[in-house]
Structure 1
Amino acid sequence: MQRKKLDKPRRKYDAEFKSDVLKMISSGRSVQDISHSLGINSNMIHKWKAQHHEVIGQKGSFPDVVSGTVSDTDHEQLKARIRELEQERDILKKALGIFSRGI
């Protein structure tokens, strides 16, 4: 008995979509979670991930993908921004406490 092929058009994904999926992975989401939410086979995502790791040293097909590395200057700038935001948060907490007391 022969199985009848489904006449389903093959989906094609552009480099931007692949880049977005790889950014999701680098942000900590699991491949299974991404594949279920986007309706993509997890093997396809693993394949894109492997291709990306091959391309990292070479300027290749995924130029927009974040490599996951942060330079020291960027790291220091990010730490300074975090300190600034924490100070703003603390000030707002104090102001909320003052205004919620009522006068």
Structure 2
Amino acid sequence: MAALRGYPDELRERATRLCIEARKDAAARTGAIRRIADQLDVHPEALRSWVKQAETGSPPRSRRTRADRSAR
């Protein structure tokens, strides 16, 4: 069973896109993640990790429960 995500995929995609666009502009780059996170009511660290994943092209990490880990 997959872990439930705290934010809908549409919100994650929109927030990530807004941050990447804002970071292209040197004047808006400083504080872009925190500003957009506050506007969309998203935790800044969550948004920071989404942006990092989008910029590096790495897939999101899989979430395993303790039960999954102990089953090995």
In 1, Cα distance between equivalents of 2:5 and 2:13? 16
In 2, Cα distance between equivalents of 1:53 and 1:26? 8
- Higher RCO (CA < 8 A, seq sep 6+): 2
Which protein shows a greater Rg?
1
The count of aligned residue pairs is 49
Matched, 1:42 2:44: yes
Aligned-residue identity in percent:
14
Q: How far off its partner does 1:49 sit?
A: 0.9
SS at match of 1:43: helix
- Over residues 29-77 of structure 1, what are the superposed CA-to-partner deviations in whole Å (9 max), with x where a residue is unaligned? 6111111112222111111111112327xxx57xxxxxxxxxxxxxxxx
The residue number in structure 2 matching 1:27 is 21
In 1, Cα distance between equivalents of 2:10 and 2:38? 19
In 2, Cα distance between equivalents of 1:38 and 1:17? 8
The residue number in structure 2 matching 1:83 is none
In 2, Cα distance between equivalents of 1:40 and 1:34? 8
Unmatched segments (≥5 aa) in structure 2? 23-27, 61-72
TM, length-normalised to structure 2: 0.51
Q: How far off its partner does 1:11 sit?
A: 6.5
- The residue type equivalent to 2:17 in the other structure is K
- The residue type equivalent to 1:31 in the other structure is I
Summarize the Cα distance change of 1:50–1:31 in structure 2 as closer, same or farther, 3 Å threshold: same
| Equivalent residues in 2 for 1:55-94, closer than 5 Å | 55=57
